[in-house]
Each structure stands twice: as structure tokens, then as C-alpha cells.
Amino acid sequence: MMRVLAMTSSLRGWLRATLAVLAIVGLGCHGRPRTWSSASSDLQSAEGHPQRSSTKHEGDIAEIDLTRGAPEIAGTTLLNPGPRPTYYRLVTLLKGLARETSSTGVLVRFGSVHFGWARAQELADLFSKVRQSKKPIVCHADGWSSASIWIAARGCDRIWVSPAGGVETIGIAAELVYAHRLLKEKLGIDVDFLQIGKFKGAEEPLTRDGPSPEAKASLEGVLGAIREQWLAGLAEARGASVRDDVENGPYSPEEAKTHGLVDAIGYLDEARDEAKKLSGSQGFDVRFGTAAHAADRPDFSELVRLIAGGTAGRGGAPHVALVRAVGAISMESGRGPFGQGGGISERGQQYALYHHHSKLKPYVYKVVPGAYEERLILELPAGTYQSDWVNPSNGAVLGTETFTHPGGQRPVSTPKHAVDMALRIKRQHS
């Protein structure tokens, strides 16, 4: 019998992997892939302007393709190298659609997509605001789930389902798998946790064969609150009778229409025809989906200029630059490529550093101009890199160097500057 009292690093890693497989909770949580997002469209929509996949067509129907979902990060795979539009972009698009006047209607293709409850709530709110802007919204799905029908009920004027589909509304539930017996009887492992607080039961799937009364009460409370909000939203949008029928699914398309969960049964082209009829337009402009990516990513010098307070390339109006950084946040010192200073980085691939001179006054930093030329110590993995010094005020490149580094520390000298300087380093691949 092997008994584990101290949580070693190897055991922690093993437990994380075990939890990922065994602790299956049906509450719709979304994983966050730890990859760098290269979808330039996310940054381009930071001002809240709706994205377009093609030349702007006034009076077209905005088409939103959700059939492939909306990942938090636009990652790629070996078999699908094209980046996918992200959830951030979808949210930005819907906020813009609620304000714009150029589109006459909206067509939403759900396919068979599934959303977690947190996203379903947010998307339902966003689609309802688009609906309030008096744009007819037609939604079509191959099959509706409890979460997706909640979005459609609150945000769509007309809800379609495919003839071979259905509405799988069976209520709110969660499933927990407990692995204590597997660990103890089959693998000979005891896992001990120190629990502080009777409602802190995250370790129970590994230490018990069933939930404690406190964990059960906590889970039932969460599920009950979600269920009540779900039922109330459906009843408000589709009528009080829906509240009594919605949990008795799954329903065939005909049964779903009879119970008022959907408005029409048909294929996507039929839903398109209805969208044309309701909006009075004939054209469609795909605003979210595989065709909605912009061609180029933002230039680094433009980004640095915006951060430093310079004028944007498309106008000199006062602005605030919002820069999204995706990845882990580290509070450790001395681990980044710039020693104690740190920066934005994709380790081993690209780095960005903004260096400036100021004094901390009460509640504010005061810029201290001068004639500066300094020596910095970088810490980089082995490889060949190109470094560029950039003037943040105008985006001009002041110096470029390509070098091969054996790994470890590398000293660099800044160009002469009055206030600030930016450095970008990108790995060169042969």
C-alpha cells in the first residue's frame, strides 16, 4: 500500500490529469487552451466596430456562423491550420450589431453547437439587445440543446429546426464521477487533503465515494439557481406554457413546434428565404465564421505607438488602446527575458519590451525627459533572432540586428532616446 501525505509535484500533475478525465461536470465549463492567439481580427475589433468578411455592403443581412463554436483562443491544428474566430470577436460583433444601422437583419446558424451556461447567458443578453434594435433575427439549428434554445428564445424572432433534428431540453443536471475506490482498491493509492471549511470540497472526487452533505447542498443550490433562471427566461420569451413543457424532452421537430419551442421546421435555405422576406434584403454578409478573418495581423510598431499615446495610423483623435494579452500571468521575478523587468512574450518565439523614464508622484507617474542610452541584460533561449528598436512616438524602426544566441544572458544597448523606447525580438526560422 502506497500512502501519499505530501502533495509532491509529480503527484499534483497526475491528479490534475486524473481530475480532467474523471471529474466530468455537466455545467458547461470551457477549457482555456494555453496557445497564443494569432487572430488579428480580435485586436481590430477592440473599438467595438462590427467585423466584416468582405467589402461592406449596405443593407445586407448579417450572417453569423456558430456551427464550429467560438473558442476563447484562435488556435490551429495539424488538420485544420486556419485560425477560428474567437468568442471575444463574437461578443464584440454582437455589441456592434446592436448599434449599427447598415444591416437590415441577422441570420444565425447554430448547427449542433453546444454552449456552457455562462456563455449561453451572455450570448442571450447580447442577441436580445440586437433584437431590440428592430433587426429581424432568424436562427436555424440542426438540433437544439437546453443552452442553445435558451439563447434562441431570448434573442431570435424566428427559430428553425431541421426536419431530422430535434430539441433536447431535458432540464438541468450535473454528473460527478468519484475515483476514490479506483485509486484505493485498484491502484493502491491513498490521497490525503487538508480541507479548511466544510463547503470546500473540491477534493471529494478523489477522497470519497459520494458527495458530502455540504457538497451536495452546494451543487444543488447552483443547479437550482441555473434552472430557475433558465425557466424564467424561456417563459418570458416563449410564453408561460413553455415553462411546464420544456423539461419533458427530448422532442421531435413536430413536438417542439407544438409546444412552442420552435417556430418552423425546415432546412437552412428555407430559413435564408425567410430572413430575406423579413428584412427586405437579398444579400448576406458573413460577419462571423470561417470567412470572417482579416488578412493581416496588426503591425508591432503601430501597437507600440498606440500604447505610448501616439496618434493612430487612421486618425489623430484621442483614444485609449486596449491590448489583449492571452496566456499565463507570472508574478515571479528574474524569469523573463528581461530579468526583473519582464515583458509580453511567447517564450522562445517573440518578445516585446517597453522601456520608459518617469518618477512616481502621488497617484501618477511623471515623465522625465532626458538624453538616455542604457545597457540592458536579456535572457533568451538558444536560437537565431531579429531584434528591432522602435520609437513609440511614431513607430519608426531605429535599429535592426539579426543574431544567433547560444542561450542565457545577452547584453544589448538602447539607441539614444529622450523618454521611452520599445524593443521587439522575433525568432528566425530557417
Contacts of 156 (CB under 8 A, 6+ apart): 108, 127, 131, 137, 138, 139
Q: Residue 96: which of 377, 358, 373, 287 has the closest Cα?
A: 287
Q: Select the more confidently predicted residue: 346 or 369.
A: 369
> What pLDDT digit, counting tens, does each position of 143-198 carry?
999 999 999 999 999 999 999 899 999 888 888 899 988 998 889 988 888 888 88
Q: Select the more confidently predicted residue: 203 or 25.
A: 203
Domain with CATH 2.60.40 in the chain: 300-427
Q: Residue 287: which of 115, 50, 68, 33 has the closest Cα?
A: 50
Between CA 99 and CA 112 the distance in angstroms is: 28
> What pLDDT digit, counting tens, does each position of 270-313 carry?
999 999 999 999 999 999 986 433 333 445 555 555 555 554 44
**What was the pLDDT predicted at 279?**
94
**What was the pLDDT predicted at 357?**
79
Contacts of 275 (CB under 8 A, 6+ apart): 61, 105, 106, 107, 136, 138, 284
Predicted confidence band at 54 (pLDDT cuts at 50, 70, 90)? very low
% of the chain residues with pLDDT over 90: 41
- What cell numbers appear for 82 in the block? 486556419
Helix (H, G, I), strand (E, B) or coil at 60: coil
**What was the pLDDT predicted at 397?**
86
Q: Select the more confidently predicted residue: 338 or 384.
A: 384
Strands, E, within 66-111: which ranges? 105-111
Q: Does residue 115 carry a pLDDT above 80?
A: yes
Between CA 290 and CA 83 the distance in angstroms is: 8
Q: Residue 293: which of 31, 60, 76, 47 has the closest Cα?
A: 76
Please say whether the beta carbons of 427 and 390 come within 8 A. Answer: no
Packed helices 117-132 and 146-155: angle between N→C axes, nearest 10 degrees: 20
Strands, E, within 221-369: which ranges? 264-265, 284-288, 344-346, 350-356, 358-361, 364-367
Amino acid at 177: V
Strands, E, within 268-407: which ranges? 284-288, 344-346, 350-356, 358-361, 364-367, 375-380, 383-390, 397-405
Q: Select the more confidently predicted residue: 74 or 96.
A: 96
CATH no. of 300-427: 2.60.40
Q: Residue 35: which of 349, 297, 380 has the closest Cα?
A: 349
Q: What mean pLDDT do residues 29-35 have?
A: 35
Q: Does residue 239 carry a pLDDT above 90?
A: yes
Count of all residues that appear for the chain in the document: 430
